[in-house]
């Protein structure tokens, strides 16, 4: 099941009331219950002008216990980019991504998957959205 996820945005040198291009960091987290594969969509509240770099990490939820030989593992991959305005060149503006997540460990665990996109983006400083934690 795919649901759009909103994310938080951080950027340097913002100018109120103007659109600018800045190196921008977009981050969020999603909780995954159990082990296996999940996918979900991330809607960017900004428009990247180049392919953003994806990085990720994870933390075991405080309700779960790490067990030797069954430590949790996580992999995250962009399975699809959403673009608009290809007339601007190459792929156009990046407005979202679909992420595929593979989680290993022990059955019944709850793990938070943290993801970050970094890249150059068009920004209107007042047009940001708050982050949302989602459970999959």
Location of structure tokens 């951080």? 10
Helices then strands, counting H and E runs in the chain, come out as 0, 9
- Averaged pLDDT score across all residues of the chain: 81
Provide the whole-model pTM.
0.75
% residues pLDDT > 70 (the chain): 71
Of 83, 84, 99, 104, the residue nearest 3 (C-alpha): 99
Tell me if residue 37 falls in helix, strand or coil: strand
Domain positions in the chain: 4-135
Note the pLDDT tens digit of each residue in 34-73: 999 999 999 999 899 899 999 999 999 999 999 999 999 9
Cα distance between residue 65 and residue 25, in whole Å: 31
Q: Which stretch of 24-28, 78-82, 87-91, 94-98 has the lowest confidence by average pLDDT?
A: 87-91
Weakest-pLDDT range from 26-35, 67-76, 77-86, 97-106: 77-86
- Alpha-carbon span 76 to 74, nearest angstrom: 7
pLDDT of residue 135: 47
Secondary structure of 64-119 in the HEC alphabet? CCCCCCCCCEEEEEEEEEEEECHHHCCCCEEEEEEEEEEEECCCCCEEEEEEEEEE
């Amino acid at each position: 099941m795919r649901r759009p996820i909103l994310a938080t945005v951080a950027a340097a040198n913002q100018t109120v009331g103007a659109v600018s291009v800045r190196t921008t960091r977009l981050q969020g987290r999603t909780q995954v219950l159990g082990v296996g594969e999940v996918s979900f969509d991330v809607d960017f509240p900004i428009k990247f002008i180049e392919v953003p770099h994806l990085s990720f990490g994870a933390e075991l939820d405080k309700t779960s216990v790490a067990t030797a030989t069954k430590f949790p593992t996580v992999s995250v991959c962009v399975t699809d980019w959403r673009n608009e305005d290809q007339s601007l060149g190459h792929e156009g503006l990046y407005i979202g991504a679909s992420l595929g997540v593979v989680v290993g460990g022990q059955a019944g665990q709850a793990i938070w998957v943290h993801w970050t996109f970094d890249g150059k983006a068009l920004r209107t400083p007042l047009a940001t959205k708050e982050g949302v934690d989602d459970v999959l």
